Amino acid sequence: MMIQDYIKSLQLTQQHACLAQLKEIQEKHLEMYSFSSISALGAEIISLQEEALLDRLVLRKKGGYCFEQNKLAYLALEHLGYEVQPLLAKVLLNGKEDNARTHRVTLVKIEDESYLFDVGFGSKSPKEPLCISRSGTIEVGNYHYKITRTASDVRIELLQPEQISLYSVSLVPVTEKDFDVVHFYSHQHPESNFVNNLVLSRVTGGQRFTLRNLLYRELHEVSQFSTVIEVTSAQQLLSLMRQKFLLNVCTSEAERLFARAQKSMRMQSA
């Protein structure tokens, strides 16, 4: 029943399982629980067991990436009585169609409609579940999405304020063992993006905060005006992580992450 601690932390106003509550869960999770690759930058194996997830994300506020964030939400939705199915998706942000399926999402069925629930896609996470029952376009605020549905998968593209393919979701059923394999690659393989880069993001209100190594960005959704700041000290990084990303990080950890991010940027510019 520890999952109730997470549900209580969201302070939901909608008390019963319905589309309105599902939207509220996604919005509040994105606001309160930052996407983070901090754990993936360590040498330890990241446990996806329920108790470990709650300890890391809810109690210690260390943030997490898709396999952590979306499994935590999946467990909560299941506990609340939703009909849920975990799925694997192929991230398409780099424009390559042959990428492996390395992203976890959740399919939620409500009154004969299917919704894609995702709180683990970083700064480009949709702010509410997307109906994927059929092909079409969906507006979420000033963000417009294109849904292309086939018998085997669903493709999600962002049309506005920019045009970019986000991911392709396979509708083939998977198990937690499937996720364990991809999760292990994502946080242990030496070529994994999360093993080599400090990546943070938080979506709140009309703003999206992002940090990649030592470049911090604030994006205002309506105007699409963004501010980019270079982080030049461990103390500055510590302040950003605490104030903008709501992460519980100590000074020594910020110093380690700052040094790691500096090294990553040097290697990428060489």
Q: What is the CATH number of the domain that holds 218?
A: 3.30.2140.10
Rg (CA), the chain: 18
Spell out where 27-172 has E strands.
Answer: 35-36, 83-91, 101-110, 113-117, 130-131, 136-140, 143-149, 153-160, 164-170
Q: Is residue 206 part of a domain?
A: yes
Query: Is residue 204 in a domain?
Result: yes
When divided into structural domains, the chain yields a total of 1
Model confidence pLDDT, tens digit, residues 213-238 = 999 999 999 999 999 999 999 999 99
Does residue 121 lie in a domain region? no
Distance of CA 150 to the CA centre of its chain: 25
pLDDT band at 2 (very low <50, low <70, confident <90, very high): confident
pTM: 0.96
Give me the phi and psi of 232, to 5 degrees please.
-115, 0
Residue range 82-120, pLDDT digits in tens: 999 999 999 999 999 999 999 999 999 999 999 999 999
Q: Is residue 102 part of a domain?
A: no
Distance of CA 185 to the CA centre of its chain: 17
Which residue bears the tokens 């009585």? 81
Domain that holds residue 201: 189-269
Report yes or no on 15 lying in a domain: no
Nearest alpha carbon to residue 22 among 98, 65, 82 = 82
pLDDT at 269 over 80: yes
Answer whether 110's CB lies under 8 Å from 22's CB. yes
pLDDT in tens, 135-185: 999 999 999 999 999 999 999 999 999 999 999 999 999 999 999 999 999
Percent of residues, the chain, with pLDDT higher than 90: 96
What's the sign of the alpha-carbon dihedral 86, 90, 94, 95?
Answer: negative
